[in-house]
Amino acid sequence: MSFSTKHPAPGSPEDGGSDDQQPAIEYDEARIAAAGDDAENQDDFFDQHDFDRDLADQVGVAGRRYTLNDGNAIPPIGLGTARLNDAAAEVAVYEALNAGFRLIDTAANYENEAGVGRALKDSRLPREDVFVTTKLPGRDHGTDSVRRSLEGSLRRLHLDKVDLYLIHWPNPERGLYVDSFRTMLELREEGLVGSVGVSNFTPEMVDELIAKTGEAPAVNQVELQPQYQQEALRAHHHAHRIFVEAWAPLGYDSKVLEHEWIREIASDQGHTPAQVVLRWHIQNGVVPIPKTSKTKRMAENLDVFGWELTPEQMHRIKLMHTGLSASGFNPLEHEEL
């Protein structure tokens, strides 16, 4: 499979896609009862990343942070800007910052970095209060291109530094992601990048980065939602203290928010289906990056602290996993421009 557009098109990565129905999955109460208790693993994760859940649920979202493997701190939820044009991104980011978001996720291939930069400036928030992520496009892989690409992103964002720089897709056919990662580490040492990470990488690709550069990425941003839970990847990354972010965390052509169990849990909790799914991510130690341009939805997406899903509810959502990517994009085949 290939992907030739310069930014996500309808039905492509990091977008909500269409409403196509996924194959029906049968569930039963016996499977819920048989599920293991993940509480110990969750506590271990939060201890590893110096995250005080009790304190986090008492303060505003702006005061919450996880500690990455390089010592930098990242907020526990962010705003995605995929498929927002420059003007729409400017408005959405400005409103998101006013609502309390402190992690903003963009990319060179979203073609909206300039709008994001204007919103950051207009917000008048201290630079250190906002965590800005952008991504290296596939066409700029390679030692000689990475620096030029980052300089372009910084210029459009009106920033001297990005807090997190990700390789957007591995583009395995080109075989340049190791060289690109190594160059990004050099840019970090020069102060142009805070943390270096990847997006849509498999555990095997991450192992190759570690073996050839001696350093693990701080973050891997991947497709992750209740019907595609990436448990093996999360376990691998936990062992290497690599943080997992989720794009399309509310589902991607998967009807996650309409699933009977999600709606039942939402009713029991007194929260929306979207809030339940975002809370599931957070209790699993994943940073969700939901995308919205609606102010009301932004406020709802931030209202995922100060309450918890019960162990049974977490188990029930765990059993929604189908093992199938809803986006259909395979990192082993996909080549981004």
228 is catalytic: no
Residues 6 or more apart in contact with residue 155 via CB below 8 angstroms: none
The three-class DSSP label of residue 183 is helix
- CA 45, CA 241: separation in Å to the nearest integer? 9
Helix, strand, coil percentages, rounded to 5, for the chain: 45, 15, 45
DSSP calls for 120-176? HHHHT--GGG-EEEEEE-GGG-SHHHHHHHHHHHHHHHT-S-EEEEEES---TTTT-
290 three-class SS: coil
Sequence-ordered list of residues with C-beta below 8 angstroms from that of 189, at least 6 positions apart, any chain: none
Cα 12 from chain centroid (whole Å):
16
Q: Choose the catalytic residue: 27, 66, 94, 110.
A: 110
Q: How far apart are CA 249 and CA 247, in angstroms?
A: 5
User: Nearest 5°: phi and psi at 212?
Assistant: -95, -15
Question: Which residues participate in catalysis according to the annotation?
Answer: 110
